[in-house]
Structure formats: C-alpha cells, structure tokens
Amino acid sequence: MIIDAQINDQPFSGDYLERIYDIPSPWNTQGWTWIKFTEEDLTEWYGNFRGFPHSVASSVKHQLILVLTSDYLFKINRSSGELLGYEPQSDYRCLTASPAGDFIVADYYNIYLLHPDLQSVTSIPSPVELDMIEFKGWKGNKLQINCIEFLSEDIPLALELDGERLEISVR
C-alpha cells in the first residue's frame, strides 16, 4: 500500500523502479511529472505522468491518489499503484486532500469538492468572487488559500476553507 506520494525531480535511470502513466493523444504536451511513491515497507518507486506538474493528493478514505498535471487528472489505486482512470485536464490548477480524505480542486475562479469518480464536483461557495486561486496547505483542518478578488484591481485575499464544513471564510 502506498503511504506517501510527492512530486519530485526525474530520478537517475535505474536507481528506482519506474512506471509510466501515459495516455496516447495528439494533444499531449512534451512535459512529464515525476511522483515518488513510498510503500508501507518504505520501498520507493517513481511514476512518470504525462504533463507538467501541478499537484498530487492522497486519500485513505477513498483509497486513491490523484495526480494533477497540465494534461490530465490521473486516478491511482493506493493499494496497487494501478491507473484506475483519468480525465483530460482542462482548467484545474490546484488539488489537495482534506484531513478527512475528501479531494478539493480549484480552477482560476472556483473551488470544488471533487468526487472520486472524477466527473462530478460540488461547488463550494465563497463569500467573494475569486481569481488566481492558489492552495497554500493545511493548518489543522483549515486549507490556507491565496487569491485575488475578481475584478478588484489585483487586491490580494487570504481565505480559509474549513475541511469539515466545507465553508470558505476570509482570514
């Protein structure tokens, strides 16, 4: 079982077991994302995913790892490392998993609860209209978010998303 997944630099060839997760398409970029996986027995291996790196998130609750690249959103089984599915990447820029194991994604303007099927999302309402959303990490059960208020002459905002209630507030 995979216990950790981190974006990393390309390893030297032969240093680790490597697995390629590529989706044949004429629209693929030339970029690749390297994810270092750590198993329960602390063995490490790398996954090579098509597209430039954005983020990776792991959920014990759903037994999934999601990898977001510029080209695709990949769904990986935490037990086997097998590719369970993917979605062509359109607008998602940020991905994280809450401490409870729910996947949260954002495009430029909105934040969503992403369901494990990767196709359905629930919009998380914000007290203001957002632009240029960036996830900055979890402090306890609160996701720290930086953004600017939409059409506000680039005024920066600091927000928090409560991971249990899925409510956004201004910090």
Query: Strand 156-162's sheet: what is its strand order?
Result: 130-139, 142-149, 156-162, 167-170
Same domain? 171 vs 99: yes
For residue 34, give both structure tokens.
């390297």
Same domain? 100 vs 126: yes
Same domain? 1 vs 83: yes
Of how many residues is the chain composed? 171
Mean pLDDT of 135-142: 96
Q: Decide which of 40, 57, 89 is a domain's last residue.
A: 89
* Residue 9: domain span: 1-89
Distance from C-alpha of 121 to C-alpha of 27, rounded to nearest angstrom: 25
Taking Cα atoms as reference points, which of 71, 104, 101 lies closest to residue 88? 71
Reported confidence tier of residue 171, pLDDT bands at 50, 70, 90? confident
For residue 148, give both structure tokens.
């600017």
Same domain? 2 vs 81: yes
The DSSP symbol for 126 reads: -
pLDDT value at 161 more than 80: yes
Same domain? 54 vs 103: no
Same domain? 76 vs 131: no
Same domain? 2 vs 19: yes
Same domain? 80 vs 3: yes
According to DSSP H, which parts of 3-78 are helical?
none
- For residue 62, the tally of other CB atoms under 10 A from its CB is 16
pLDDT at 153: 74
Same domain? 40 vs 111: no
pLDDT value at 90 more than 90: no
The DSSP symbol for 51 reads: S
Average pLDDT, the chain: 95
This prediction's pTM = 0.93
Reported confidence tier of residue 3, pLDDT bands at 50, 70, 90? very high
pLDDT tens-digit readout, 18-33: 999 999 999 999 999 9
Reported confidence tier of residue 154, pLDDT bands at 50, 70, 90? confident
Same domain? 64 vs 117: no
Distance from C-alpha of 161 to C-alpha of 103, rounded to nearest angstrom: 13
- Give how many domains the chain has, as a whole number: 2
